Structure formats: structure tokens, C-alpha cells
């Protein structure tokens, strides 16, 4: 716990009030808020009854996207976007309980220091499952014939306005050909009966979006480096990218520390370096202290950089940053090194700030870090909506649909899209600043609307074994692999090509 003593004291004093409010709370809410999103492993840092926080209620304003099918959303019962993680039961592939920070990206079958990845015929052993198929020839996955270029006259096409259309060719990898699919997103492994959700592609109105071409991507990033900053949905996209690229090459793990939150891979044949940087709050954050039962809240320093990633970015050519879901938890905010307020905290003498206050400031601070020290192509990926229906995440909410919505359909009002709106606003403000900076290009990957149309793409109940005691929890936040999130990488490549 890095809290200064003063802050620690502030946090500890209101013991009684805190306890009371939590007792009330626990009566109505199922434990395990911390086993939320992203983070299969955090929850056990603290006893679960004390980690519960209020649901967003009166101050949740749900705001619609500019889509005709969007009715004005009512400020009701928006579930805390808590992913159905099942911390207590989840084991990593090596059989060990994952570290208490984040769940690991599965280890490549051979993350040894030897350079074996060049050979497409190379067969290697996974730590548990025996041989993993070699990436190329033995793969049953086909190459796309849809791989067309966007024509010059289509270059200005808005990639983010469109419709999902059938694609009989997909998927382009599966759980046998790709080692990087995390357990929770390995929907087929856990018995998902339908496969239709893999068979769609995103069709922007003004052009055809080419399907991701791993060779083209790797040629484009030869000698370059790319970093992803964010939470487990950011990691979800990285895993999709690893899988899409695994048809050509497996990377070598060159991470300098064992910290699974900060992975570095080298695609050695291309000298392409891929960094994954864990920062669900984007700014400096201190965690609840596991030894202090009264410290239940993440503390966010809204005006301070999370130097774990900001200190890395000046060496990168591409940066993809995203965030959102973690900002629905109980949080304490600091500005100017002083406690400035909190959300869902019920601490005496502490201002309860509106739900999106912290997000707005944190995003602004992180965009400032990019404006300050980054000179490549930076992409802000917009909010990834959840699709819990029939209740919130911890009250039986599920996402059992098996096909996308059409955009003229009425979509149930299940997702709070205010974060998307904040992203647009902050992006536009940063964009103006960017004009003054040489080199830096800041772009928006506005995939919120596209993903809103994909209630069928989440693991739902197929993110874990149904025999486990967690079977009542459904993940309607992350995305199955393969699945609609692969489209983010189609779009990423297209954006990179446009910027070239
Ligand atoms: C992002 O997408 C939404 C929905 O399609 C749209 O209303 C908004 O204008 C888009 N913003 C940008 C900057 O493209
Ligand atoms: C892959 O999915 C199939 C079902 O399509 C499942 O039987 C198998 O166990 C999964 N394999 C792995 C390694 O996840
Ligand atoms: C990545 O691999 C290439 C080829 O082996 C090597 O030349 C390069 O130094 C490696 N990069 C890093 C950062 O380790
Ligand atoms: C709250 O502030 C009031 C007035 O400054 C003070 O008397 C009281 O002790 C404070 N309560 C706590 C729990 O810090
Ligand atoms: C930017 O780089 C300078 C020099 O390396 C460093 O002092 C500063 O802290 C960096 N800014 C951020 C936001 O990391
Ligand atoms: C939506 O559009 C499709 C295709 O254009 C059409 O078949 C369908 O009837 C429309 N649905 C609604 C609810 O308007």
C-alpha cells in the first residue's frame, strides 16, 4: 500500500459508519463485486462482503448514441458491469492460482528463450495440453478470399457506421490453432452450442472492410513496436491479435519481469515488439490493502500519471488505449495530493462525486501523457458495451442471444454509454491540442456502436465450467475468441494503413 500516512488515516477513521453501510449493503447484494471485470483474481484480496458497493442508481445517466434505433435510456438499474469472474475456482493453465493482480495471458507453447518460431513446421509442447499445432500448414483455418483493399475513392469511408453481415468464411482461427485464448473467453471449450456468432463481419456503409491479413500487418510493423494500455477488454483484443497473427508466427516472450500485467513479445522474424500494459484506471492507482480490512477502495490520483505505462510510451510507434468498466466500482479520488471525493464510498466528510467524474479526469490525464511524450499513432478505442439482460451481472443477468441486432432494431437499454460520450468529448479536446504537436497522430476507434449490435458475442455462461459453483454468473462484458472482437483488429490494421 503506497498511501501516505495521512491518507491512510483518513481512510481508516470512519470504521463504524463504513461497517454499518456495508452491513446494510450485504443484505441486498451478492458478494464479490471485486470479482468484476477484467480481473479474475482481485477479489480475494479482501473479504467479499466488504467489497460490495452500491449499484449506480440515481446518478447514472444513460445516454444514447446517435442512432435512430436508440431510445432515450432511462436512468434505472444499470448493472454494475461486473464480469462473472470466478476467482476462487479459476486456475491458470499451469495449475497454479494466478497472481493476485491480473489473470495471465496464456503462455505461448514455447516461450523459452530459443528462437524456434521462424519455422512454420515447428511443433512444440504446451505446458499442459501436449502439442499445439504449428501455425501454418496444419491449421484447418482458411485464408480469407474477402481480403480486398479499400479503394482510393473509399478511403474517407466512416469505418464505424455500418452493419454486421454474414461471413461464411470465418472464423480464421480456433482454440486448437491459437494458444492465446484465455480460458474465460474460450467459449467453445466450455460448451457453447451455437457457432453462428463467429460468422459475421463488420460492413461499414461506405466501403468493404478487409479481413485482417496477418502477413500484411506484420510487414507493416516490421522493426516497430506497439503497446496496448487498459483493462481486460484491452487484453481481450491483444489475445485476438495474437491469435490472428499465430497463423504466421508465434512471438517470443521477452518480458523483463515476471509481472504478467506487463508483457512484452518479440515477433522475431519481423523484429516487431508488442507490449501489453495493465492500467484499468489509466492514472496512478493504489490498491486496497489486503491487510487492512477497512481499506476497501481503490484510490485514484486523478491528476497523476500511471508511470508504469506513461514512462514506456516514448519508445512505441503505435499505442492503443482504452478503459471504462472499472470506473463503476467504489473509488476514492485524490487531486493535488489531497482527497477530493469518492464514489459509492459513504465515507464521512468525503464528498460523493457523480459517477463519471473520475473517468473524465482520468482519461484527460492519460491523454495529456500521450500528448506530452508520444510521437506515433495513438488510438483511443471507445467503450465496449455490456449486454446483461434480465438482471444485473450478479442477479442472473445473461446474454443468451445468438445473432447480432440489425441497426434498425430496437436494442434493449442495458448499457450505460456515458463513457462513450466522455471519450468523444475528451478525444476532441485532445485532438485540438494534437494539432500543435509534430509527429503525434491521435485517432478514435469508435467501435461502441458496432459492438452494441453484438449481444451474441459474449461468453455468457460459457466462460467457465457449468459444474462450478459460479455457474449462475454470466460474462456479458468480455468477448468470445474467436468472435466479434476480432473485428477490432480488422479496423486497427485499416486505420494503420490509412495513416501510413
Ligand atoms: C462514434 O459513433 C457514434 C455512433 O455511430 C456516432 O454517433 C459518433 O458521431 C461517432 N463519433 C466519431 C468521432 O466518429
Ligand atoms: C476447443 O473447443 C472444442 C469444442 O469446439 C472443445 O471440445 C475443446 O476442448 C477445446 N479445446 C481447447 C484446448 O480449449
Ligand atoms: C527481437 O528479435 C530480433 C530477432 O531475433 C532481435 O534482433 C531483436 O533485438 C529482438 N528485440 C528485442 C527488443 O529483444
Ligand atoms: C467531520 O468534520 C467535522 C467538522 O470539521 C468534524 O468535527 C468531524 O470530526 C469530522 N468527522 C470525521 C469522522 O472525520
Ligand atoms: C515524458 O518524458 C520525460 C523525459 O523522459 C519525463 O521526465 C516525463 O516524466 C515523461 N512524461 C510522462 C507523462 O511520462
Ligand atoms: C430492418 O431492415 C431489414 C433489412 O433492411 C428488414 O428486413 C427488416 O424488416 C427491418 N426491421 C425493422 C424492424 O424495421
Which residues does 109 contact at the CB level (< 8 Å), separation at least 6?
124, 125, 126, 127, 132, 179, 250
DSSP string, 284-343: EEEPPPTT-TT--SEEEEEEEE-HHHHTTGGG-SEEEE---GGGGS-EEEEETTEEEEEE
Q: Is 349 in the pocket of ligand 4 (CB under 6 A)?
A: yes
CA of 268 to the centre of ligand 3 (A): 6
Q: Is the pLDDT of residue 46 over 90?
A: no
Cα 14 to averaged position of ligand 4 atoms, centre (Å)? 10
70 lines ligand 1 (CB under 6 A): no
CB 404 within 8 A of CB 454: yes
**Residue with C-alpha cell 434493449?**
412
What pLDDT is stored for residue 53 in this prediction? 27
Q: Mean per-residue pLDDT for 259-281? A: 96
Highest mean pLDDT among 149-153, 165-169, 181-185: 165-169
Ligand with minimal distance to 114 CA: 3
Q: What does the longest C-alpha to C-alpha distance in the chain come to?
A: 66
Sheet-wide strand order for 252-253: 252-253, 262-267, 272-278, 225-230, 318-321, 377-381, 441-445
Instruction: Locate the DSSP E strands across 13-99.
Output: none
Nearest ligand 6 atom to alpha carbon 409: 13
Does residue 240 carry a pLDDT above 90?
A: yes
Mean of the pLDDT values across residues 242-250?
Answer: 95
Lowest model confidence (mean pLDDT) among 104-113, 413-422, 472-481: 104-113
Q: Please tell me the predicted confidence (pLDDT) of residue 226.
A: 98
74 pLDDT higher than 60 = no
Ligand 4 binding pocket includes 16 (Cβ within 6 Å): no
Kindly tell me if the per-residue pLDDT of 96 is higher than 50. Answer: no
pLDDT number for residue 311: 96
Residue of higher predicted confidence among 109 and 60: 109
The whole-number average pLDDT for the span 433-455 is: 92
Which residues are tagged catalytic?
Answer: 232, 475, 478
Give the H or E element holding residue 272: strand 272-278
> Is residue 437 very low, low, confident or very high in pLDDT (cuts 50, 70, 90)?
confident
410, three cell numbers: 430496437
Does ligand 5 come within 6 angstroms of the Cβ of 305?
yes
User: For residue 258, what pLDDT is reported?
Assistant: 84
Nearest CA to ligand 2 atom 6: 189
Please determine, for residue 418, whether its predicted confidence score (pLDDT) is greater than 60: yes
Q: Is the pLDDT of residue 395 over 90?
A: no
Pairing type for strands 441-445 and 377-381 reads parallel
Tell me which of 70, 408, 410 to substitute to probe ligand 6's pocket, judged by most ligand atoms within 8 Å of the beta carbon.
Answer: 408
Atom of ligand 2 at shortest range from CA of 191: 4
Distance 240 CA to ligand 4 centre (A): 51
Question: For residue 48, which of 388, 460, 473, 354 has the smallest C-alpha distance?
Answer: 473
The whole-number pLDDT of residue 393 equals 80
**Could you state, in order of their start, the residue ranges of all structural domains in the chain?**
103-145+167-200+209-499
Architecture of domain 103-145+167-200+209-499: 3-Layer(aba) Sandwich (3.40)
pLDDT at residue 234 tops 60 = yes
Amino acid at each position: 500500500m503506497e498511501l501516505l500516512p495521512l491518507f491512510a488515516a483518513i481512510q481508516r477513521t470512519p470504521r463504524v459508519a463504513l461497517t454499518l453501510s456495508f452491513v446494510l449493503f450485504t443484505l441486498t447484494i451478492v458478494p464479490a463485486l471485486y470479482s468484476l471485470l477484467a480481473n479474475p483474481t482481485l477479489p480475494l484480496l479482501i473479504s467479499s462482503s466488504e467489497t460490495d458497493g452500491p449499484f449506480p442508481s440515481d446518478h447514472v445517466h444513460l445516454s444514447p448514441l446517435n442512432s435512430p434505433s436508440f431510445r432515450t435510456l432511462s436512468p434505472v438499474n444499470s448493472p454494475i458491469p461486473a464480469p462473472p469472474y470466478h476467482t476462487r475456482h479459476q486456475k491458470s493453465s499451469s495449475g497454479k492460482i494466478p497472481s493476485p493482480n491480473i489473470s495471465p495471458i496464456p503462455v505461448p507453447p514455447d516461450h523459452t528463450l530459443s528462437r524456434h518460431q521462424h519455422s512454420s513446421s515447428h511443433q512444440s509442447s504446451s505446458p499442459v495440453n501436449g502439442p499445439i499445432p504449428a501455425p501454418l500448414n496444419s491449421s484447418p483455418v482458411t485464408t480469407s478470399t474477402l481480403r480486398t483493399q479499400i479503394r482510393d475513392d473509399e478511403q474517407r469511408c466512416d469505418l464505424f457506421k455500418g452493419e454486421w453481415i454474414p461471413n461464411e468464411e470465418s472464423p480464421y482461427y480456433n482454440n486448437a490453432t491459437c494458444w492465446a485464448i484465455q480460458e474465460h473467453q474460450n467459449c467453445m471449450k466450455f460448451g457453447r452450442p451455437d457457432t453462428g456468432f463467429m460468422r459475421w463481419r463488420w460492413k461499414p456503409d461506405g466501403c468493404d472492410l478487409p479481413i485482417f491479413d496477418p502477413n500484411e500487418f506484420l510487414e507493416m510493423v516490421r522493426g516497430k513496436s506497439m503497446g496496448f494500455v487498459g483493462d481486460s477488454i484491452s487484453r481481450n483484443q491483444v489475445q485476438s491479435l495474437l491469435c490472428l497473427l499465430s497463423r504466421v508466427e508465434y512471438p517470443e516472450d521477452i518480458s523483463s519481469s515476471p509481472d504478467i500485467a506487463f508483457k512484452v513479445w518479440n515477433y522475431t522474424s519481423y523484429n516487431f515488439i508488442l507490449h501489453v500494459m495493465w492500467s484499468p484506471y489509466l492514472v496512478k492507482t493504489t490498491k486496497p490493502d489486503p491487510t487492512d480490512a477497512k481499506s476497501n477502495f481503490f484510490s485514484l490520483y486523478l491528476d497523476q500519471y500511471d508511470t508504469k505505462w506513461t514512462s514506456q510510451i516514448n519508445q512505441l510507434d503505435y499505442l492503443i488505449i482504452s478503459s471504462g468498466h472499472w470506473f463503476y466500482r467504489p473509488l476514492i479520488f485524490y487531486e493535488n495530493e489531497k482527497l477530493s471525493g469518492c464514489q459509492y464510498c459513504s465515507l464521512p466528510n468525503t464528498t460523493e462525486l457523480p459517477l463519471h467524474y473520475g473517468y473524465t479526469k482520468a482519461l484527460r490525464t492519460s491523454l495529456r501523457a500521450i500528448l506530452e511524450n508520444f510521437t506515433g499513432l495513438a488510438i483511443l478505442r471507445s467503450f465496449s458495451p455490456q449486454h446483461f439482460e434480465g438482471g444485473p451481472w450478479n442477479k442472473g443477468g445473461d446474454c443468451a442471444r445468438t445473432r447480432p441486432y440489425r441497426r434498425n432494431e430496437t436494442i434493449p437499454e442495458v448499457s450505460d454509454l456515458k463513457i462513450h460520450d466522455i471519450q468523444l468529448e475528451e478525444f476532441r479536446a485532445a485532438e485540438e491540442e494534437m494539432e500543435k504537436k509534430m509527429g503525434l497522430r491521435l485517432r478514435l476507434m469508435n467501435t461502441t456502436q458496432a459492438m452494441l449490435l453484438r449481444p451474441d458475442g459474449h461468453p455468457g455462461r460459457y466462460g467457465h465450467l457449468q459444474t462450478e459453483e459460479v455457474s449462475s454468473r454470466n460474462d456479458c462484458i468480455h468477448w468470445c475468441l474467436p468472435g466479434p472482437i476480432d473485428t477490432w483488429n480488422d479496423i486497427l490494421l485499416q486505420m494503420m494503413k490509412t495513416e501510413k
